[in-house]
Chain A
Amino acid sequence: MTDTATARTTPSPGRRATAPSPGRARLRRGAIIASFLLPALVVLGALVVYPIVFTVIRSFYDQGGQNFAGWDNYVTMFTNDTTFTAIRNNIMWVIVAPASCTILGLIFAVLLEKLRWKTAFKLIIFMPMAISMLAAGVIFRGMFQESPNLGVVNAALVGINNIFSDSADYPGARPRDGFGIVEDRGVIASADTIAPGGTQDFPLTGIRATSLPDDAAQAIPAANASDTQITGTVFLDVLRGGGGTDGEIEPGKRGLPGIRVDAVAADGSIHGYATTGAGGDFVIDGLAVGAQYTVALPASNFDEGFQGVSWLSASFINGVVILSYIWIWAGFAMVMIASGLSAMDRSLQEASRIDGANEWQVFTRITAPLLSPVLIVVFVTLIINVLKIFDLVYVIPPGASKPAANVIAVEMWTVSFGGGANQGLGSALAILLLVLVLPSMIINVRRFREDRSR
């Protein structure tokens, strides 16, 4: 293992023969340290630390900022439901997102060495970082929207589903109320049973006249049924331009061809079926005389079918937002790790390959440990970044899912700037965020201690 300890400025031989006096030397050292560190410390102090102090103080005052409120804001914060959801969501983010990004970035960085088209690949994976978070949020919102006409993901799912299953002829059709037919779980059936020799018509609504198949003709009243038959007509009970009498077959109302009609016995078995003709008329034959049947139109005639998953609903929304984050930040991890890899001295790996180690061993025993400083930087940066996450969570969830997707930074924004202007509470939330960072700092502290002891 190479010695990665911080270099110490040990007094080395060969310095000026005439050493300056200790006092001057110390001053000189102080000046050097200051020259390196002061610009950063001044900028940070004035522009970052000062706002933090301001925020801490502000969190002890009330909404308007004039009256001292003590711990009130903190109490409000912790007794609030939304804050708990926010904290819980942030924890979920911290567990899932940084690890996924780092692992993906590592895999990409290592594997891309093998590609001829590595710059193209790097560019493709990195490109999301160049897109503003707002635009990225808008993209994912659009991709995962419910409607399979507009959202890519559902369009793909529905498309695949349609390859394997048939679509219904008359999606969305409903029975006309009050004419003896009812709808139950997709099946449109007669409300009462009828015996053979009887007729059951099905006046339906909810189908566009322009969506009817070409061969749909004027509805034909059913023929008289013999005592082993049940007849009827399935027709669209709507006249173009309105008017007409509900439930009656009139000129202008068209029959619905191609609908399967079942005669269902009391025990649920299907004793006969028919398919409607061009005028919507059907004849079910072969039935037992005197038996009672329910005449039913199976759901497969009307089923809208799989319309995709509601990705943006409260149940899945966090997954979608985290996915968008990974899409953007895996590129960050990849670029950082790739630059760490490229700065790495290859001779150790070559040596171990010569010694007979296989690729996996080379990776786990040599490459990964050498990469650990970069990995730590990436991982810690991502953890802190994720605790602050704001833009994506603000843009992607639709209103109904916002409470489920809430995170602390969004809550802070809503409370401070979203009209209520309760900066006292907002400041308390900001301090909460800072406090939550501390656990991840423990990793770093340990590392520094280790470094020192080398």
Chain B
Amino acid sequence: MSDLTLVRPKKTVAQRILGVFSSSIVNIVLLIVAVFWLVPTVGLFITSLRTAGDIAATGWWTVFTAPAQLTVENYTNLLSNTTITGSFLNTIVIAVPTTILVVMIGAIAAYGFAFLQFPGRDWLLIVVIILLAVPLQVALIPLARLFGAIGIFGSVLGVILFHTAFGLPFAIFLLRNFFTQVPTELLEAARIDGAGDWRIFFRVILPLGLPAIASLAIFQFLWTWNDMLVALIFTNSESQPLTVAIQSQLRQYGANLDVLSTGAFVSMIVPLIVFFAFQRYFVQALLAGSQK
């Protein structure tokens, strides 16, 4: 732009009031939304602090008038259960490599679809995105046979590969769309400097794409962490993750809300930590990136 100093017209009093007004309305509205949003989770948490008998007899809101019924016995039972604690490590060993693989393979493929020209590229991309629609139940039997044949059935590696494959379509879809937003001037500048595609990828695209990559990582980690179906079939007692371990503790007859609610919270802690950590990381990366 030219070097005219940009002068912002002063806000009128009316506009100022409107500004404040709408800000506090927003606060109130979002506060109400947040409270309602929390009710189910809070309910589940309180349920996990009650005994099975209490859960079946009265609603969880009664703890506010009768707090004596709160107990941590569900948690101590679950956490002293070696099946459960043993499965924790398995869950990490499954979720972390899957997330990393999906991000790495997905990012480079997304770069290819975004910036490299070859015949049929767009149609290939559409096929990849259609794969998003494949429900994983479809692959259970064929891949069980395949993995059995090559000897990795029942191992953590099999589960990692399964989840990686099913996470890639979304990763490619998301990152490709994000990468195409990168201003072409940056790419042109890099090419002028003689950079080849790999260097452009690492030096230009990856840093700029961090918000999207961070989001992708959070989601992929979450989805892998919470999966039960694939793990149920593809792991055995040695390699089973937390979700399957909790499932195996459900009583055949009778209510299981105490086990499920406690299991849900125990299982939720790590993903929430991941979310927090990544949130902060990509805000930092953002601030660094926006200085350009």
Given contacts A119-B279, A130-B268, whether A47 and B109 have CB atoms under 8 Å apart is: no
Q: Residue on B with the closest CB to A120?
A: B34
Judge whether B146 is part of the interface by a CB distance below 8 angstroms: yes
- Which residues 203-218 of B sit at the A interface, judged by CB distance below 8 A? 208, 211-212, 214-215, 218
Pick out which of these stretches binds chain B: A147-155, A270-278, A280-288: A147-155
Judge whether A348 is part of the interface by a CB distance below 8 angstroms: no
Of B170, B208, B263, which contacts A135 at CB under 8 A?
B263
Within 8 Å CB of B133, what residues of A?
A: 384, 387-388, 433-434, 436-437
Given contacts A12-B192, A124-B38, A377-B174, whether A40 and B30 have CB atoms under 8 Å apart is: no
Chain A nearest CB from B106 CB (Å) reads 7
Question: Residues of B with Cβ closer than 8 Å to A?
Answer: 6, 8-9, 22-23, 26-27, 29-30, 33-34, 37-41, 43-44, 47, 57-61, 105-106, 108-109, 111-118, 122, 125-126, 128-135, 137-139, 141-143, 146, 161-162, 164-166, 168-170, 172-174, 177-178, 180-184, 187-188, 191-192, 194, 196-198, 201, 208, 211-212, 214-215, 218-219, 222, 226, 228, 243, 257, 260-261, 263-264, 267-268, 271-272, 275-276, 279, 282-283, 286
Within 8 Å CB of A8, what residues of B?
A: 117
Q: Are B117 and A135 in contact (CB under 8 A)?
A: no
Return the CB mask of A130-169 against B: 1 if under 8 Å, else 0: 1111111011101100000111100100000000000000
Chain A nearest CB from B103 CB (Å) reads 12
Q: Are B211 and A342 in contact (CB under 8 A)?
A: yes
Within 8 Å CB of B139, what residues of A?
A: 47-48, 51
Q: Are A52 and B138 in contact (CB under 8 A)?
A: yes
Question: Residues of A with Cβ closer than 8 Å to B?
Answer: 2-9, 12-16, 32-33, 35-37, 39-41, 43-44, 46-52, 54-55, 108, 111-112, 114-115, 119-136, 138-140, 142-143, 149-152, 155, 327, 332, 335-336, 339-340, 342-343, 353-354, 356, 359, 373-374, 376-377, 380-381, 384, 387-388, 390, 409, 412-413, 416-417, 423, 427, 430, 433-434, 436-438, 441, 444-445, 448, 451-452
15 contacts across the A-B interface (CB closer than 8 A): A7-B182, A12-B191, A14-B192, A39-B105, A39-B108, A39-B109, A43-B105, A108-B30, A125-B34, A149-B58, A150-B58, A152-B60, A335-B218, A381-B173, A436-B133
Chain B nearest CB from A309 CB (Å) reads 16
Q: Are B170 and A381 in contact (CB under 8 A)?
A: yes
Q: Residue on B with the closest CB to A412?
A: B137
13 extra interface residue pairs, beta carbon distance < 8 Å, beyond A48-B139, A128-B37, A133-B226: A37-B113, A40-B128, A47-B165, A124-B34, A124-B37, A130-B268, A135-B44, A138-B261, A139-B41, A335-B215, A336-B215, A390-B135, A412-B135
Given contacts A2-B183, A114-B23, A130-B272, whether A152 and B130 have CB atoms under 8 Å apart is: no
CA of A396 to CA of B272 in the docked complex: distance in angstroms?
24
Within 8 Å CB of B9, what residues of A?
A: 354, 356
Of A32, A339, A423, A441, which contacts B130 at CB under 8 A?
A441
CA of A147 to CA of B3 in the docked complex: distance in angstroms?
70
Within 8 Å CB of A50, what residues of B?
A: 142, 146
Chain B nearest CB from A7 CB (Å) reads 4
CA of A41 to CA of B33 in the docked complex: distance in angstroms?
43
CA of A54 to CA of B142 in the docked complex: distance in angstroms?
7
Q: Residue on B with the closest CB to A324?
A: B40
Within 8 Å CB of B211, what residues of A?
A: 339-340, 342-343
CA of A152 to CA of B267 in the docked complex: distance in angstroms?
24
Q: Residue on A with the closest CB to B112?
A: A36
Q: Are B6 and A354 in contact (CB under 8 A)?
A: yes
Main SS of the interface on chain A?
A: helix
Chain B nearest CB from A87 CB (Å) reads 15
Given contacts A155-B61, A448-B122, whether A5 and B196 have CB atoms under 8 Å apart is: no
Total A-B residue contacts, Cβ distance less than 8 Å: 280
Q: Are B228 and A12 in contact (CB under 8 A)?
A: no
Of A123, A151, A327, A335, which contacts B59 at CB under 8 A?
A151
Of B37, B182, B184, which contacts A125 at CB under 8 A?
B37
Within 8 Å CB of A46, what residues of B?
A: 146, 165
Within 8 Å CB of B142, what residues of A?
A: 50-51, 54-55
Within 8 Å CB of B141, what residues of A?
A: 54, 423
From A55, A121, A384, name the one whose CB has the most chain B CB atoms within 10 angstroms. Answer: A384
Given contacts A14-B192, A332-B219, whether A40 and B170 have CB atoms under 8 Å apart is: no
Q: Are B116 and A9 in contact (CB under 8 A)?
A: yes
Chain A nearest CB from B199 CB (Å) reads 11
Chain B nearest CB from A300 CB (Å) reads 27
Q: Residue on A with the closest CB to B170?
A: A381
Of B8, B43, B131, which contacts A139 at CB under 8 A?
B43
Within 8 Å CB of A49, what residues of B?
A: 131
Chain A nearest CB from B285 CB (Å) reads 10
Q: Are A131 and B264 in contact (CB under 8 A)?
A: yes
CA of A49 to CA of B124 in the docked complex: distance in angstroms?
13
Within 8 Å CB of A52, what residues of B?
A: 131, 134, 138
Within 8 Å CB of B23, what residues of A?
A: 114
Given contacts A138-B260, A373-B181, A451-B180, whether A152 and B146 have CB atoms under 8 Å apart is: no
CA of A211 to CA of B269 in the docked complex: distance in angstroms?
45
Q: Are A413 and B137 in contact (CB under 8 A)?
A: yes
Chain B nearest CB from A42 CB (Å) reads 9
Q: Are B222 and A129 in contact (CB under 8 A)?
A: yes
Within 8 Å CB of B194, what residues of A?
A: 14-16
Q: Are A134 and B180 in contact (CB under 8 A)?
A: no
Q: Residue on A with the closest CB to B128?
A: A44
Q: Are A130 and B138 in contact (CB under 8 A)?
A: no
CA of A37 to CA of B264 in the docked complex: distance in angstroms?
38
CA of A41 to CA of B121 in the docked complex: distance in angstroms?
12
Given contacts A40-B109, A44-B128, A343-B181, whether A130 and B275 have CB atoms under 8 Å apart is: yes
Q: Are A40 and B130 in contact (CB under 8 A)?
A: no
Within 8 Å CB of B118, what residues of A?
A: 33
Q: Are A434 and B30 in contact (CB under 8 A)?
A: no
Within 8 Å CB of B188, what residues of A?
A: 7, 12
Given contacts A32-B196, A152-B59, A444-B126, whether A47 and B180 have CB atoms under 8 Å apart is: no
Within 8 Å CB of B8, what residues of A?
A: 353-354
Chain B nearest CB from A78 CB (Å) reads 19
CA of A125 to CA of B272 in the docked complex: distance in angstroms?
12
Chain B nearest CB from A147 CB (Å) reads 9
From B111, B165, B196, name the one whose CB has the most chain A CB atoms within 10 angstroms. Answer: B165
CA of A437 to CA of B173 in the docked complex: distance in angstroms?
15
